[in-house]
Structure formats: C-alpha cells, structure tokens
C-alpha cells in the first residue's frame, strides 16, 4: 500500500510538468495576446495608445519573446513559488487567488457534504423499497435533477425569489456585510446565504449519485451473500446496511476523486450566474482576456487538485475494499 | 404419441429461441412505456432539426425594437367551432415610466391558420417552399407564440432554430467521440502491449484534466472572427475530444475481457479469422452497450454546449442555440419582466430528460444479464 | 453410537407445499405440491435435475423466498418442544423466523464462492451469528469460532479466521461455510449442493466431515444434490423431485434397490458404471426438460416416460401414494389416485 502511494506521489511533479506545458499551449492558443484585447478595450472606450507604447508594454511583459522562452520563464518563476502578476489587475496572482480560495473551498465542501448526506440514504431507501410511492417520486426528482443544467436551476430559483418575494439572493452576503471585516455576525450571514448556492451546485450531483447508489444496491441485493446473511437470522435493515450497502458504496467512493476538481468547475457557472466571489469567474475573465499568468496559475491549481483528488479516492477505495488493498 | 409430444414441445421452444438479439432488445425496450414515449419526443425534436423553418412563424433574426418583451400568446383552437386564434397584443404606455407595456387581450383575437404561406425557405438545401406549420391569417401580422425578447425577436421561431443547432451539436459530438473511443479503445484492447500502454496513458492524461476549464480555454481560444459555422464545428470537435476517453476506456476493458472469453476461443478454434472474430463475435456483445452509452452521452454534450454558449464562449450570436437564447435570461430584472425567456431552458430539460430515459431504457433492454 | 430415534415424531414435516413465481410471461409453479418428513438426526436427500424445485423448497422452509415468488399453499410444520408451528404462515421478517434462522435451522447456500461477503473476514461473519443467537461476547465468540474452525478441519485456525473468503481455497471456503452454519448448533441443517462446485477428492472429505458432525451434534440434514452417488453415501431417506413435484420418496435402500417410479429407474440407469461393457450407448433420459411456462398436461414426466399410458398419464396428475411405512410414489402404474383438477 505504502509503495503504491509513494509511487503515485513521485509521479505527481512529472504529471504537473506535463500539464503545465499543455495548459500554456492552450492559453497561448488564441491569436494575439493580452495586449491585443487590452488595446481593443482601450479603443472601445475611446482612449488611444500609440504604437511605441504598445511595443514598450509588450517588451515589458515579455510578450515579444518566442513561445518556448515565455514558457520557460513562467516555469522558472513557478518553481520559485512566484505565481506572477496578473496582467489585468496588476496584482500578484497569489493574492488574487488567495482571496477567492477560501470561499470557493467552503462552497465546494458544503455541496459535497450535502450531496452525500442526501444521496446515499435516498439511494438505499429507493433500492430497498423498489416500486413504492417514495421510490417513484424520488426517481422522478432524480431524472429531472439530472436533466436540469445547474445554472438553469440557479436562474429559476433566483427569479422566483426576486419576482415573488422581492429578495435578491445573489452574492454570498447581504450588502451591509460585503466589505465588512470578519466577525461572528458576518459568518452567520454567510451561512444564511451559502446553503442555496451549495444546494444548486449539488443538485445534479445528488440526483446522479442517488441513481447510481440505487442501481448498485439493486445489483448487490441479488447476490448470494445477502441470502447467507438473511439465513443467519439478521434483521433486515441491519444486514442491508452492513453488507450490500457497504459493497454498493465502493464504486461511488472511487468517484470521489473526480469531485474535487468538478466542484470547482461546477460552481464556476453557478458562481457566474449568482455573482458569487469565486475562482471560477476569475478564471473565465482571465481566459477571455488572455491574462495568461493568472489563467495558467488557476488551471495549474485545478490540475493539482485533480491529481490529489484521484489519489485520495484511490486510497479511500483501498481502505474500504480489502480485495484492492491486498491486490487480488 | 410420445414422440409427437416431444417434437411439439421442441417446436414451441424453437419459436422462442430464434428471435435475434436485436428483436429481443426491441421487445424489452417496448415494455418501458416511459422510454418509448421519450423516444417519440426525440423523434419530434429531430423532425424539427430537419426543417426548423417549417415550424417557425417568422424570420428568427428579424428584430423590431418596438415589439420588445411581448408576452406569450397562447394558442386556442376553438372559437365557436374549429377556428384557431391567439389573443391579440395590446400596448399601453405606462404613464410613469413612459415605457410601452404589452399584454395580451383575450377579447381581441388574432386568427391563425395551419399550413399557411409565409417566408420562403430552403429545405435541407434541396428545394424551396414557403409553407409554414402555423401563421396568422393576415400575413402582415406577426405572432409571438412564446413571446419576444429584448430586441423584438420571436422566441418560438428562435427556439426552433436553436433546436436544430443544439441537437445537432450533441449528436455530432457524440458520434465523433464514439468513433474515436471505439477505434482507439478497440486497438488498445485488442492488440495490447505497447500500443495499449501508450493509449492508456493518453486516456489517463486527458481524463484527469478538469473538463470545464479545458472547454473554456479551448473555446476562448477560438478566434473572434470565425464564422458561426466554423465556430459550430470547432465546438463540436472540442466537445468530442474531451468526451471520448470514457468510452475508449470501456471499449478497451470490454475487448480485454472478451478476448479471454470462451466463445472467442471457440471461434478461433473453429478457424475464424481475426477480423471476423472482432466483427461478428465480439462487437455484437457490446454494440448495444455502446448505443446505450452514447444516448446517455448526448444529453451531457447538449448541457455542455448550452452552458458554454450561455457563458458566451460557445456558439455565438447571430447563430442560435439554446444556450445563446438563455443568455437573454441572465439578468434577474429582465427575467422578472419577461419570465418567458426561461422557456428555452424548459426545452433543454425536456430534451435531456428524453435522452436520459431512452438511454436508460436501451441500457436495460440491451443488457442480457439483467433479467 | 446408534441414532436415537425419538418416537416417530418428525422434526420437520412439509405438507403439500406450493411455491409460485408470478412473472410477466406467466406464473411458474416452482414447487407444486411437495410433501416429506425429516426426523431428528436423519439425512434426507432431495435429488433431481436442475430446475426441479429442490432449492426453492428449502428456501421456503426458511421463508427466504423473494418476490415475485411466494408460498402459495401448503404447510411447513416445525416441531418446537411438543408443539408444531407452521412456518409457511410466518412473515419472512418476523422475530420468530429470525430467531429460527441460523440457530434452529441453518443453511449452507449453493455457491460457497459468493456466499461470504468479500469485504468482511470469515471470522467476523461467524462471530456475528454467535453474538446474535448465542449471546456471546465478542471475545468469547472469537474463541468459539477458532474451535469451530478446528472442528471442521481448518488448519491454522487462529490466523484463518481473519482471512477473507477469496483468500481461501474452495475446500477451505466450504469448510468455513459449514462452520458458520453449525456455529449455533442448529437442529436442522439444509445443505444446498455443498459438493457441486468442488473437486472429487475434496468432495469426499467434505462428505466425511458432514457425517462426523451429524454424529457429533445430532443434527438432521436436508441434503440437496443432483448427484446420485453422493445421495447413496449420505442419505437415510431420499426424495426424488421433477418439475416441482415429488416423483418418489423412501428409505435410501428401497430407492436404490427397488425403485418404483419410471423417472427414478431412468435416473439410476443413466449412471455410468465401470461395470458396463465398452461401446454400449449411455442410457440417457429421452427428451429435454420442458420450458417452465410450457408445463406438460397431466403427469409432468409423461413426455419422457418409457412406460407412459396415453390417455391417463397425459391428462391426469398422479397424487403421492404410500406404498409402505415410509415409501411413496406418484405414478398411475403404482396405483396413484388422480389429483383433483
């Protein structure tokens, strides 16, 4: 086991290196660069800028160097822990990301917890009470949940809240708290607001997870070891939880790894719609404006989280399933 | 007498044994009424894809600032007998905001008829006609079955055209994914060895890159001056490039497992060539699985395209897709004024739901071990 | 030590059991009127082709029939003290059934490969049963499990109880399964094809083990198999089933040396023997097992019967008729009455 983990950990930097190159290529792929769109924005607002100034800026930002040189420069800075400056905001990327990171993580964690707390029991109930009224209702909700893009849900909820109740549920805080320093009251206010975006983000995931849990459990319930357990005289709900549910959970655990990056990107769209301070919209702007160091840094963090997430879920799976742990 | 009984019993058995796999799948699928109904819905949608102009009431790009935010005009069929009509639109200037406010007035009717003549259009680029499914009796009148947006464009017609784009993107993207996945996965699984290792590492690499940021990056990378068609093709390719890995992995896994199966060994022992084994013996076992998986992948592609376009990174105006239409609904204040702008979202939900139900039905029907 | 045959009161008495499965294509009568008795300390062998209803019968005893199947009629009388309770009337989830399962009546299920949970150790699964029925503490249960493992002949018992089922060989797994079944000292053991999936040598060992344990614990055993050779070694009493009905039942000697029913005779004939001359055709039973939705009218065996009487056997169903103190047969050739329609 430990050998397996060390093996994966050793691969980590190598993978990150490969990713960094791929990311850089993708960011630089659009023709032009940051200055092109910057100049376009300037001219749209009526300011003009001379050709020499553009050239000087280009040289200052190192944008006139060949592609590989720019990449190596970026790589070198990264290895020194320097995430670079955002071309657009003129601030260190580390600061920009850091500000949004906390809330992004909070939102992601809340969604994750909500999803699993709802989905697993719902799936178990659905499978053990197949074709009951509750099962049918849950199935309908699940199907619709999977079919609804989460930004649609966000839009609908926001509209209902606004049109019928006159409240605006965008943002994570009520207006008076937005720029206020941290306090207990602000924290409470955050909690009041955060559950809704967390729910919206989580709903599609919850629906999908419930369906998978239900299907897995239905498969397991037909297996011989369930008969053995019943023949031993165990109570039904106890044996369901202890044996088939436990096994049905395994495939789900192996997908936990995908959650980490997905929650960040799933929240991206919702965050944009609901105007939440989140890394997602930051990335979006950076990509559109070709603010390459910022976009690169964020994408690299995403990739890092993916690799770590996959590793964590593999470890979790190995812990839960002795067949994998002992290398069957 | 005894022999006859045996023969008769055997003959009855034969009748059950001869139905081909595809017939069995169809029989089992047929029993899921919900899946069958959804398949019907999909067929309707694809009919619209083939000829959206027929269903549209007017030119989807026609703007008229004076007719912005007109509410929906629900269709009524009877008016003392068969006489379809929609409530007429009346405008009133709000004395305070000085803005035109539109409502529908059921007491004043605009009559409509089916299969009217309207703007001419080409069907599939083959021939020209000017018959539309529905239109006002007075050809100068514009009707807005599902209301109008902020530029006075008719939403019903735009949804029809959007259906064409969105459904096609989904279908084409998944087809490309399937081709990529089956070919690469098949090669990987069947030949094994180094080829397998290389393709596997590639798949792992692609799979661990987070999807949405990659889409965003790739879509943002599309030059601003490309034509809508080029953008459309590029989006399709992007979606398929990201989506083929799951299928590739599954196909490879299946091939690997099937290679060891007894029936493949039996075919080899009987002297079948490699191609024949692959095509006639191995493929049919998971062809149905591929179809089922694909039909579940299409809604994912549709939602992806919708999301991308909604963010402004996918299909761009003046091209129309469901996502582009939903961009109009981004603003809460606007939505409060004109909630009908959310209707394209409902269409998305219905389409995706239908695909999911059909896909589930196909998957259940084609799995020989689930009974 | 001779068997103590406590009077003639059976431990379990199955009377006219009917189990039906309602499927979309039709109703399958998996068990169609089965009756037999099991006496304490006795081995009853149920033999028949695949699909004849042997397993379903025994599952019904433990009320382990899952929907769409249900017990459609008959009685399953189990003796507790001086009284009999009808297990067929009990609800599958009732306290009574749960107390019986594992403690009074134990099951060795059909596939030892898959019968243990793959993510729990075998020891843990046995400890669970012991803690539930015998009310032992976890440590005491663990010790008892080690003893049990030794009883069934598993070497290195202390380490083996912490093994997972897939780490054990087929024979060891089966022994562990037997240990689990016997852990709470049941009065009746149902062994569903315990030797089908293992090789002949191990099979002989397992059968010897079962005989010893039966002797030691005085457990009655219902032994299900399709292998007549195993029946001859193990059973005191044999029940021959076909398509959900009992064709013949009786003491093992009577069945083997004086079979009455044509099906029993055909089965015995079809056992390949080293004594037969080379190059003689293997006598197989003609025809095939009918499709479950396509049951023959009249006697279920008649399409394949060499002695069939047209008219009678094709239209009427023979009832089980006693031919002696313990032998019974359902065949018109041996005086069975027709069953009411």
pLDDT of residue C221: 93
Q: Within 13 Å and on the Cβ side, how many CA atoms surround C313?
A: 21
Average pLDDT, chain B: 77
State percent of chain A over pLDDT 90. Answer: 1
Residue A235: exposure state from Cβ atoms within 10 A (0-12, 13-18, ≥19): middle
> Measured over all CA atoms, what is the biggest interatomic distance in chain C, rounded to whole angstroms?
67
pLDDT of residue B1: 42
pLDDT of residue A135: 86
* Exposure string over B202-229, b if 16+ CB within 10 A, otherwise e: ebeebbbbbbbbbbbbbbbbbeeeeeee
Residue of B211, B339, B349 with shortest CB distance to A159: B339
**B19 close to C (CB below 8 A):** no
B275 or C54: which carries more pLDDT confidence? C54
Q: How confident is the model at residue A100 (pLDDT cuts 50, 70, 90)?
A: confident
Tens-place pLDDT, residues B191-220: 777 888 788 777 777 776 666 667 777 776
Least confident of A130-134, B250-254, C64-68, C69-73: B250-254
Q: Is the pLDDT of residue C324 over 90?
A: no
C236 or A12: which carries more pLDDT confidence? C236
∠ CA(B341), CA(B344), CA(B349), 5° rounding?
135
Q: Which residue of C has its CA nearest to A247?
A: C119
Least confident of A99-108, A114-123, B171-180, B319-328: A99-108
Strands (DSSP E) contained in chain B are 76-78, 82-93, 100-123, 127-136
Average pLDDT over residues B248-263: 75
CB B262 within 8 A of CB B325: no
| Closest chain C C-alpha to A225 CA, distance in angstroms | 4
pLDDT of residue C188: 92
Q: Is the pLDDT of residue C44 over 90?
A: yes
Q: Is the Cβ pair B210, A306 closer than 8 Å?
A: yes
Q: Is the Cβ pair B12, C308 closer than 8 Å?
A: no
- Residues within 8 A of A (CB atoms), C 180-239 only: 180
Least confident of B42-46, B364-368, C318-322: B364-368
Tens-place pLDDT, residues B316-365: 778 888 888 888 888 777 777 788 888 888 999 999 989 888 888 887 77
C133 or B337: which carries more pLDDT confidence? C133
Instruction: Delimit the domains of chain A by residue range.
Output: 1-88+290-328, 101-288
Q: How confident is the model at residue C4 (pLDDT cuts 50, 70, 90)?
A: very low
Residue C68 preceded by cis peptide, ω within 30: yes
Whole-angstrom Cα distance, residue A315 to residue A325?
Answer: 9
Most confident of A141-150, B9-18, B286-295: A141-150
Q: Within 13 Å and on the Cβ side, how many CA atoms surround C149?
A: 25
Q: Which residue of A has its CA nearest to B352?
A: A147
Q: Is the pLDDT of residue C138 over 80?
A: yes
Q: Is the Cβ pair C303, B16 closer than 8 Å?
A: no
Residue count of chain B: 371
Q: How confident is the model at residue B12 (pLDDT cuts 50, 70, 90)?
A: very low
pLDDT of residue C220: 92
Quote the tokens at residue A166.
Answer: 């006159």
Cβ-based interface (< 8 Å): residues of B facing A: 205, 208-214, 216-218, 220-223, 299, 303, 306-307, 310-311, 313, 326, 329-330, 332-333, 335-336, 339, 342, 345, 348-350, 352-353, 356-357
Within 8 A of B216 by CB-CB distance, chain A residues are 268, 283-284, 287
Q: Is the Cβ pair B10, C288 closer than 8 Å?
A: yes
Least confident of A68-82, B8-22, B334-348, C95-109: B8-22
Give the closest residue to C246 by CA, choosing from C152, C330, C171.
C330
Tens-place pLDDT, residues A9-63: 787 788 778 878 877 777 776 666 777 767 766 776 777 777 777 777 777 766 7
Q: How confident is the model at residue C33 (pLDDT cuts 50, 70, 90)?
A: confident
- Residues within 8 A of B (CB atoms), A 291-310 only: 295, 298-299, 302-303, 305-307, 310
**CB proximity list for C11: less than 8 A, separation 6 or greater:** C38, C39, C40, C78, C79, C187, C188, C220
C284: left (phi over 0), alpha (psi -120 to 50) or beta: beta
pLDDT of residue C5: 40
Within 8 A of A230 by CB-CB distance, chain C residues are 64, 101
Tens-place pLDDT, residues A200-252: 878 877 888 888 888 888 888 888 899 889 888 888 888 888 889 888 888 78
Whole-angstrom Cα distance, residue B159 to residue B351?
Answer: 13
Q: Which residue of B has its CA nearest to A295?
A: B217
**CB proximity list for C274: less than 8 A, separation 6 or greater:** none
Whole-angstrom Cα distance, residue B35 to residue B354?
Answer: 8
CB B72 within 8 A of CB B160: no
Q: Is the pLDDT of residue C238 over 90?
A: yes
**CB proximity list for A159: less than 8 A, separation 6 or greater:** B332, B335, B336, B339, B342
pLDDT of residue C3: 34
> In the 3-class helix/strand/coil scheme, how is C153-207 assigned residue by residue?
CCCCHHHHCCCEHHHCCHHHHHHHHHHHHHCCCCCEEEEECCCCCCCHHHHHHHH
Most confident of A14-28, A294-308, B219-233, C165-179: C165-179
Least confident of A280-294, B41-55, C96-110, C209-223: A280-294
3-state secondary structure (DSSP) of residue B350: helix
Average pLDDT, chain C: 85
3-state secondary structure (DSSP) of residue B118: strand
**A264 close to C (CB below 8 A):** no
CB C216 within 8 A of CB C147: no
Domain A101-288 = CATH 3.40.50.1240: no
Average pLDDT over residues B95-114: 75
Q: Is the pLDDT of residue C239 over 90?
A: yes
Whole-angstrom Cα distance, residue A53 to residue C341?
Answer: 105
Q: For B155-198, give the DSSP string.
A: HHHHHHHHHHHHHHHHHHHHHHHHHHHHHHHHHHHHH-HHHHHH
Give the closest residue to C76 by CA, choosing from C95, C100, C43.
C100
pLDDT of residue A258: 66
Tens-place pLDDT, residues A156-209: 877 777 777 766 666 666 666 666 666 677 777 777 777 777 778 788 778 888
Average pLDDT over residues C16-29: 85
pLDDT of residue C6: 42
CB B251 within 8 A of CB B178: no
| Closest chain C C-alpha to A205 CA, distance in angstroms | 27
Residue C217: exposure state from Cβ atoms within 10 A (0-12, 13-18, ≥19): middle
């Amino acid at each position: 086991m430990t050998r397996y983990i060390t093996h994966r950990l050793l691969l980590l930097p190598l993978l990150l290196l490969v990713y960094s190159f791929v990311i850089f290529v993708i960011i630089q792929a659009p023709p032009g660069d940051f200055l092109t769109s910057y100049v376009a924005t300037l001219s749209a607002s009526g300011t003009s800028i001379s050709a020499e100034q553009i050239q000087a800026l280009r040289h200052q930002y190192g944008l006139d160097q060949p592609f590989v040189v720019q990449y190596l420069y970026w790589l070198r800075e990264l290895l020194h822990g320097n995430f670079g400056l955002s071309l657009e905001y003129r601030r260190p990327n580390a600061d920009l990301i850091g500000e949004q990171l906390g809330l992004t993580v909070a939102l992601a964690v809340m969604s994750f917890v909500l999803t699993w707390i709802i989905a697993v029991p719902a799936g178990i109930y659905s499978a053990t009470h197949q074709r009951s009224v509750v099962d049918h209702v849950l199935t309908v909700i699940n199907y619709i949940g999977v079919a609804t893009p989460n930004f649609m849900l966000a839009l609908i909820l926001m509209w209902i809240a606004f049109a019928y109740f006159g409240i605006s549920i965008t943002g994570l805080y009520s207006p008076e708290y937005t720029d206020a320093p941290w306090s207990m009251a602000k924290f409470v206010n955050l909690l009041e607001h955060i559950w809704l975006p967390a729910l919206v983000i989580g709903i599609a995931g919850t629906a999908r997870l419930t369906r998978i849990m239900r299907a897995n459990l239905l498969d397991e319930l037909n297996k011989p070891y369930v008969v053995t357990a019943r023949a031993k005289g165990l109570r039904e709900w106890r044996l369901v939880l202890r044996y088939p549910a436990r096994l049905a959970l395994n495939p789900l655990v192996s997908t936990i790894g995908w959650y980490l990056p997905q929650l960040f990107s799933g929240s991206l769209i919702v965050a944009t719609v609901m105007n939440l301070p989140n890394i997602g919209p930051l990335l979006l702007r950076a990509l559109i404006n070709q603010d390459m160091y910022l976009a690169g840094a964020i994408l690299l963090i995403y990739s890092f989280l993916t690799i770590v997430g996959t590793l964590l879920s593999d470890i979790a799976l190995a812990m839960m399933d002795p067949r994998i742990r002992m290398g069957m | 007498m005894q022999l006859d009984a045996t023969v008769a019993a055997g003959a009855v058995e034969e009748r059950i044994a001869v139905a081909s796999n595809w017939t069995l799948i169809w029989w089992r699928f047929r029993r899921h009424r919900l899946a069958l109904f959804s398949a019907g819905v999909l067929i309707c949608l694809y009919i619209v894809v083939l000829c959206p102009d027929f269903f549209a009431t007017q030119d989807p790009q026609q703007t008229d600032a004076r007719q912005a935010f007109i509410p929906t005009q629900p269709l009524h069929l009877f008016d003392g007998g068969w006489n379809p009509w929609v409530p007429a639109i009346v405008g009133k200037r709000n004395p305070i905001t000085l803005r035109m406010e539109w409502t529908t007035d059921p007491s004043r009717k605009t009559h409509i008829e089916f299969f009217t003549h309207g703007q001419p259009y080409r069907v599939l680029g083959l021939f020209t006609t000017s018959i539309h499914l529905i239109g006002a009796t007075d050809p100068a009148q514009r009707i807005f079955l599902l209301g109008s947006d902020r530029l006075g464009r008719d939403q019903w017609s735009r949804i029809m055209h959007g259906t064409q784009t969105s459904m096609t993107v989904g279908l084409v993207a998944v087809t490309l994914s399937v081709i990529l996945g089956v070919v690469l996965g098949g090669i990987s699984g069947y030949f094994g060895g180094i080829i397998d290792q290389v393709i596997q590492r590639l798949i792992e690499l692609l799979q661990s890159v987070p999807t949405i940021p990659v889409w965003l990056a790739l879509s943002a990378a599309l030059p601003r001056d490309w034509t809508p068609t080029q953008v459309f093709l590029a989006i399709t390719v992007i979606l398929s490039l990201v989506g083929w890995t799951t299928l590739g992995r599954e196909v490879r896994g299946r091939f690997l497992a099937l290679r060891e199966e007894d029936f493949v060994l039996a075919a080899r022992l009987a002297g079948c060539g490699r191609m024949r084994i692959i095509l006639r013996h191995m493929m049919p076992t998971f062809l149905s699985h591929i179809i089922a998986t694909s039909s579940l992948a299409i809604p994912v592609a549709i939602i992806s395209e919708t999301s991308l376009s909604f963010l402004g990174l996918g299909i761009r105006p003046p091209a129309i897709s469901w996502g582009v239409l939903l961009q109009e609904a981004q603003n809460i204040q606007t939505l409060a004024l004109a909630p009908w702008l959310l209707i394209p979202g409902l269409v998305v939900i219905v389409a995706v739901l239908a695909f999911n139900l059909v896909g589930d039905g196909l998957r259940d029907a084609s799995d020989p071990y689930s009974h | 030590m001779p068997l103590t045959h406590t009077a003639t009161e059976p431990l379990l008495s199955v009377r006219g059991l009917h189990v039906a499965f309602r499927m979309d294509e039709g109703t399958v009568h998996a068990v169609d009127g089965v009756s037999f008795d099991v006496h304490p300390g006795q081995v009853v062998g149920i033999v028949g082709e695949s699909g004849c209803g042997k397993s379903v019968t025994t599952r019904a005893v433990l009320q382990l029939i899952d929907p769409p199947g249900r017990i459609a009629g008959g009685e399953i009388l189990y003796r507790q003290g001086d009284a009999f309770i009808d297990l067929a009337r009990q609800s599958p989830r009732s306290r009574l059934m749960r107390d019986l399962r594992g403690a009074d009546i134990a099951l060795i299920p059909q596939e030892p490969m898959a019968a243990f949970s793959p993510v729990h150790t075998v020891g843990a699964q046995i400890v669970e049963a012991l803690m539930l029925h015998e009310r032992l503490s976890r440590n005491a249960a663990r010790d008892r499990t080690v003893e049990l493992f030794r009883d069934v002949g598993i070497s290195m018992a202390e380490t083996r109880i912490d093994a997972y089922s897939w780490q054990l060989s087929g024979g060891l797994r089966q022994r562990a399964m037997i240990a689990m079944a016997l852990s709470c000292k049941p009065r009746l053991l149902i062994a569903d094809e315990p030797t089908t999936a293992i090789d002949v040598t191990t099979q002989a060992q397992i059968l010897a083990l079962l005989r010893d344990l039966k002797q030691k614990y005085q457990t009655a055993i219902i032994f299900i198999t399709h292998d007549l050779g195993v029946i001859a070694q193990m059973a005191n009493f044999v029940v021959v089933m076909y398509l959900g009905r009992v064709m013949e039942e009786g003491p093992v000697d009577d069945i083997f040396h004086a079979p009455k029913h044509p099906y029993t005779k055909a089965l015995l004939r079809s056992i390949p023997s080293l004594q037969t001359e080379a190059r003689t055709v293997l006598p197989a039973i003609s025809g095939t097992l009918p499709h479950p939705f396509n049951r023959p009218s009249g006697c279920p065996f008649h399409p394949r019967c060499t002695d069939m009487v047209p008219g009678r056997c094709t239209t009427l169903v023979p009832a089980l008729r006693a031919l002696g103190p313990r032998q019974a047969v359902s065949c018109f050739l041996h005086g069975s009455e027709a069953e009411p329609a």
